[in-house]
A and B are shown apart, each in its own frame.
Chain A
């Protein structure tokens, strides 16, 4: 199983553009949309959805009759998701990281769990590509569980992971098992600044990576190291993306660029 993670520091650099076109050109593969705050790969890889499942997390429920106010759970929780007010424990659901520790340390067995829904994962098919889409429930604070559940659907063969932007917890969850990472960058200072953050993260995690420079043009910002492809800044590409089309299906030039990226991945990541 190979997992190629497509990520970027700055949003809007073209993660989904690269990920969806790569999936299309790769033929039989699995596309996992882990950009769960706003997944949109299925606009381009648009096929029938065959399965939908809920993402749930376990949140502590305290039995007031059994709780004697010892506060072991409050002191244990390193995220401070529990507080003791007068005579009862308050649970802050959005802060809880669902570790289960509070129930373990409770000497009175007063803590059990309820499942609450934090997202949804759908599975569909577009030509040869299995399309897995994670969508976070609006109002939920942490994306991590939905990203993790999306990734559980990785299949034997090639998996292309469309990551959230940035370098936060949800990104780390998405790239944890990656065999190779593609950082999508654009020639702007903003993108360069955030690229350095992603680079630092990947080097800390010891993950191999290469850069795809999207919207490439003459600029004061130049990328020279580890560049595996350059996609020129062209009006045509903007028109295609804006109308929900895959560039590789409409242009031999782009098809060539993505074939080259795939060749690089075959060399670098045994795809």
Chain B
């Protein structure tokens, strides 16, 4: 089973790809073998700190192989680099992101941000 993940704030494929990975409400897990989609709550959504690591751990624990995300915090990137193939998502729905990925139109790799914690 080849699993692809995308962060999202509503449980449907028409919803927009979340701007933020660690603080998104849900992850959509797409089974690329049979097209099945499952939404799971992101356990890091309410985390007080280190949300990127917790979200990254959740993706690893779910055996995600591919991640489409707009950007990524430095910590999540450090954790996932080497373990998960990452693609830069576009500002559009999950469906469109998935279609673009399948057509090989998404850029490989992602940009990182230094995080949103202040103090």
Give the residues from 61 to 119 in chain B that come closer than 8 angstroms, CB to CB, to chain A: 75, 78-79, 83, 117-119
Q: Please report the number of residue pairs spanning A and B whose Cβ atoms sit closer than 8 angstroms.
A: 49
Alpha-carbon separation in the docked complex, A86 to B84 (Å):
12
Q: Are B49 and A80 in contact (CB under 8 A)?
A: yes
A91 to chain B, nearest CB (A): 10
**1/0 per residue B52-66: CB within 8 Å of A?**
011011001000000
Interface presence of B12 (CB below 8 A): no
Total residues of chain A contacting the partner, CB 8 A: 22
Q: Are A92 and B119 in contact (CB under 8 A)?
A: no
Q: Are B83 and A81 in contact (CB under 8 A)?
A: no
**CB closest residue in chain A, given B55:** A80
Q: Are A95 and B119 in contact (CB under 8 A)?
A: no
Total residues of chain B contacting the partner, CB 8 A: 18
Q: Are A79 and B50 in contact (CB under 8 A)?
A: yes
Q: Are B56 and A170 in contact (CB under 8 A)?
A: no
Q: Are A74 and B57 in contact (CB under 8 A)?
A: yes
Q: Write out the residue numbers on chain B whose beta carbons fall within 8 Å of the beta carbon of A85.
A: 60, 79, 83
Q: Are A92 and B50 in contact (CB under 8 A)?
A: yes
Q: Are A95 and B83 in contact (CB under 8 A)?
A: no
**CB closest residue in chain B, given A78:** B48
Q: Write out the residue numbers on chain A whose beta carbons fall within 8 Å of the beta carbon of B14.
A: none
Interface presence of B3 (CB below 8 A): no
Q: Write out the residue numbers on chain B whose beta carbons fall within 8 Å of the beta carbon of A143.
A: 119
Q: Are A95 and B57 in contact (CB under 8 A)?
A: no
Query: Which of A74, A92, A166, A168 contacts B75 (CB under 8 A)?
Result: A92
Given A92-B78, A95-B75, is A83 in contact with B53 using a C-beta cutoff of 8 Å?
Answer: yes
26 A–B contacts from the bound complex (CB under 8 Å): A78-B48, A79-B48, A79-B49, A80-B44, A80-B47, A80-B49, A80-B51, A80-B53, A80-B54, A81-B50, A81-B53, A83-B53, A83-B57, A83-B60, A83-B79, A84-B57, A84-B60, A90-B78, A90-B79, A92-B75, A95-B49, A95-B75, A141-B117, A166-B118, A168-B118, A168-B119
Residues of B within 8 A of A (CB): 44, 47-51, 53-54, 56-57, 60, 75, 78-79, 83, 117-119
Residues of A within 8 A of B (CB): 74, 77-86, 90, 92, 94-95, 141, 143, 166, 168-171
